[in-house]
Amino acid sequence: MPPATGAESQRAAPVQVDVAQQQPILKQIQLTGTVTSPLVSSLSAATSGLVETVHAEEGTHVAKGDVLLTLDAELVEQQLLAAEASVAQASNANNAD
């Protein structure tokens, strides 16, 4: 298309000018979804037993060495007494020979 000449080149395009103002954002978007962590940690115990007290719930920030739960000591005490009785019985059997 050839360039505009004469009266065509004198016509300006209509322009609207506004003064910039700070205003709150009026448009909001609400979404539903699931947030997951890219990090996964495994939890294991050095011994088995019944959980007596939970000290940290799921989602709680914990650090290395924090106590997460307490096991019921009664089962461990019974196992210790049984082991001590077995040692005493084996010792008595060795002494009798």
Predicted structure pTM score: 0.41
Residue-wise pLDDT for 8-21, tens only, equals 667 888 889 889 88
| Residue position matching structure tokens 């000018």 | 17
List of residues 6+ apart from 37 with CB closer than 8 A: none
* Higher-confidence position of 1 and 25: 25
Q: Residue 93 has what pLDDT?
A: 84
User: Cα 12 from chain centroid?
Assistant: 60
Percentage helix, strand, coil, to 5, in the chain?
30, 5, 65
Residue-wise pLDDT for 28-81, tens only, equals 888 999 988 888 878 777 878 889 999 998 888 899 899 999 988 898 889 899
